[in-house]
Amino acid sequence: MARRKLTPEEKQRRLEEKINNENSILEVFSSKSCFAGIDKCKVSLQDFSVERVEIKNLKQDSSCNLKTSIDGELLGLDIKSEFFGNITISFDTSDFKTPYCYIELIHGGLNFETVGIEGIKKRLANAIDFIKNNYGVIITYSTALFLEIELAYTIAFDKTPNLQLRSFLHKCLSSGYPPNFGNEKSKKNNYDYPILSCKISNEELTVTYDKIEKAKRKRQIRRNGSKLDNINVQRFELVLKKNKIEKFLGTNSLDLLNDAQLIEYLESKLHSTINVYIKLIEESSNETKRVLEDVYRKYGPQRYIKEFLIQVNNYSLNKLSPLVLDEEILALINIGFSKNKGRTKRAIIEYFQNSEKYYSKKNETGLMITWHVRDIFKLFYKSLDIAREKGLGCHKDTTSTHTYKHILKDYPLGYRNNIFDEIIKSNTRNQKNKIRNHVLKEFPDKYLDINKNNKKNKKIKQIK
C-alpha cells in the first residue's frame, strides 16, 4: 500500500522537528566533547505487587500485549513505550514458575545523552508513574536489581573516524577480540560499517556505532543539509549482564550502587585496555618484522620494499584490519637482516610516504591510528575525571553556543618523521620494553602497573 503524501503543513512540521532535534544534539556537547554514563539498562523488581489490574481497562494494541488463561485470568502483561522502554510482568505460577517484573529503561527520543545511577532511579520512577497514569497499573516493590547495564562513552568528532581507526579502538576496548562488522538496515552495502560489535562472553559484549547515522535512519534529523554535517558522534558501549555486574561491581542492586563504583570500574577497565593496546602494537610489530624478513629473503635488497608495500596494502583489503598499524610500527620494529637498521627503517618509511610526498595522497599507514586511539584514551580518562566531580552522564552548559568536538588531527610528514627519528635513535635490544615504555610515557599520571613499577625503581635508586 502506497504511503499517503504529506500535506505542506505536515512537511513543515516534520522539518521543524528535525531542526529542533539537531539543535538538541549540538547542546549535548555544549560543555565537553566526550562523556561517560549509563545508556540502556534492564532491572528486575523484587517483592513486587500489582494493584488494580482490570483486564477490561487494559487496551490490547501494538504497545500493550496481554496473556490470559482459559478462565480469563491475567497471566502476563507486556507494555512497550518510546517514553521509558519496556515492562514485562508475569503472574504465572503454574509448573513451579516464579512471577517476575522486568523493566527495560531507555532514554527515549534522540538518546544522545546518558545518565548516572540517580538518573536511572528517576527513569524507573517515571516509568512506574507512566504505567500507572496510562494503564491504571500500580506497581510496588522492595528493590531493583540490574539484569543488564550498558556503560557508554559518547564522543563528538569533527569528522567520521575511518574504519581502521574505529576497528582498532573497538578491538582494544574488547580485550583484543576482533569486531564483527555491521550496517544500518537502510545501508546494507555501506562498506564504512557504522556498527562494530563483539561478544566477549555470554555476559559481556561491546558495541561501537555511529549515532548520527542512526538518527538519520530513524528520520529524527535531516539526511542532507543538516546542522550536523560537520560533526560525527560515536558511542562505545560495554554491556554487562547480571553475573558480570555482580563480579565487577560487587553488587547488582540499584540501591547499593553509586557513580563512584561505576567510575572506578570504568577506570580499571581503561587501564587494562591500554595493556591490550600495547599488546596489539607488539603483535603488529612482530608480524611486520616477520613478513618484512620473508619478503627480503624472497625478493632481495632491490625489490623487497616495493613488494612489502604491496603485501601490506593487500592484507588490509582482505582482512579489514592492517598488518602494519601505522608508520610508527616501522620505526619500532627490530630488523634482523640489516646492519644499518636506522637507515633501513628510514628508507622503508620514506617509500611508504612517496604517494603523500609527491601526490598529497596518504598511504593508510600514514593515518596514524595508534596515535588517534591513544588520544581517545586520554579523552576517556578526562571524561571520568569530570564524572568524579559532576557525576556520570551528560552535563550541558546552557549559556554556551559552542559545540565541543574532538579533532582528529592530520599529522604532517615533517612532524611524523621527527618523532620517528627520535624512536629510531633510541633503539634498544629489548623490543618489548621499548614499545611498552614508549606508549606508557604518554600516560605518566595514570596508576598503571608498569608506571607503578617505574616509580618504585626510582624510589629505590634515590634510597641507594
Mean pLDDT within 343-368? 94
Partner residues linked to 64 by β-bridges = 61, 79
Distance from chain centroid for Cα 140 = 35
Structural contact between residues 327 and 288, judged by C-beta atoms closer than 8 angstroms? no
CB atoms within 10 A of CB 158: 14
Q: Report the pLDDT value the prediction gives residue 317, as an integer from 0 to 100.
A: 79
Total count of residues recorded for the chain: 464
pLDDT digits (tens, 9 = 90+) for 55-73: 556 666 668 888 888 887 7
Q: What are phi and psi of 252, to 5 degrees?
A: -115, 15
Distance CA 323, CA 306 (A): 15
For CA atoms 406, 412, 417, 418, the dihedral sign is negative
Residue 98: CB atoms within 10 Å: 7
What pLDDT score was predicted for residue 458? Answer: 45
Across residues 279-306, what is the average pLDDT? 95
Task: Render pLDDT for 246-289 as a digit per residue (tens, 0 to 9).
Answer: 999 999 999 999 999 999 999 999 999 999 999 999 999 999 99
d(CA 22, CA 44): 35
Quote the radius of gyration of the chain (alpha carbons, Å).
Answer: 27
Please tell me the predicted confidence (pLDDT) of residue 461.
42
Q: What is the pLDDT of residue 454?
A: 47
CA distance from start to end of the chain: 85
pLDDT level of residue 16 (50, 70, 90 thresholds): very high
The pTM of the full predicted model, rounded to 2 decimals, is 0.91
Q: What is the pLDDT of residues 397-438, one digit of tens each?
A: 999 999 999 999 999 999 999 999 999 988 666 666 788 888
pLDDT at 162 over 70: yes
- In whole angstroms, what is the distance from residue 423 CA to residue 313 CA? 24
Cα–Cα distances (Å) from 115 to 109, 110, 213, 266, 378, in that order, read: 15, 14, 22, 15, 21
Cβ atoms of 87 and 101 within 8 Å: the answer is: yes
Write the pLDDT tens digit of every residue in 19-57: 999 999 999 999 999 999 999 999 999 999 988 666 556
Residue 22 near residue 227 (C-beta atoms within 8 A): yes
C-alpha cell at 449: 602497573
Contact of 46 with 144, CB cutoff 8 Å: yes
What local confidence, expressed as pLDDT, does residue 92 receive? Answer: 86
Exposed / middle / buried, residue 341 (Cβ in 10 Å: 0-12, 13-18, 19+)? middle
The secondary structure of 206-244 as a DSSP string is: EEEEEHHHHHHHTTSS-SSS-TTTT-EEEEEEEEEEHHH
What pLDDT is stored for residue 55 in this prediction?
Answer: 59
Least confident of 202-211, 310-319, 368-377: 310-319
Per-residue model confidence (pLDDT) at position 60: 61
